[in-house]
Amino acid sequence: DLAGGLTAVDLATLCEYGDALRRAGHGGDARAALLGAAARARADGDAALFARAAFGAHRVTTVTESSRSEVIALLDEALAALEREGAADSDPARWLLSASLARELADGPDRDLPRAVDLARAAVDGARRTGDASALAYALFALADVRWAPGTAAGRLETAGELAAAAAAARETE
Q: pLDDT tens digit string along 6-20?
A: 677 788 899 999 999
Of the candidates 108, 126, 41, which has an alpha carbon nearest to the alpha carbon of residue 71?
Answer: 108
* Chain centroid to CA 113: 17
Radius of gyration in angstroms for the set of CA atoms belonging to the chain, rounded to a whole number? 16
Of the candidates 27, 102, 37, 99, which has an alpha carbon nearest to the alpha carbon of residue 67?
Answer: 27
> Using an 8 Å Cβ cutoff, are 133 and 166 in contact?
yes
pLDDT of residue 109: 76
pLDDT of residue 107: 85
In this predicted model, what pLDDT tens digit does every residue of 129-171 receive, in sequence order? Answer: 999 999 999 999 999 999 888 888 888 888 888 898 898 898 9
pLDDT of residue 141: 93
In this predicted model, what pLDDT tens digit does every residue of 50-82 receive, in sequence order? Answer: 999 999 999 997 655 558 888 999 999 999 999
pLDDT of residue 6: 66
**Cα separation, 59 vs 64, whole angstroms:** 14
- Calculate the average pLDDT of the chain: 88
Of the candidates 14, 21, 55, which has an alpha carbon nearest to the alpha carbon of residue 36?
Answer: 14
Phi, psi of 61, deg, nearest 5? -55, 130
> Whole-model pTM?
0.86
In this predicted model, what pLDDT tens digit does every residue of 80-118 receive, in sequence order? Answer: 999 888 777 789 999 999 999 999 999 877 789 999 999
pLDDT of residue 53: 95
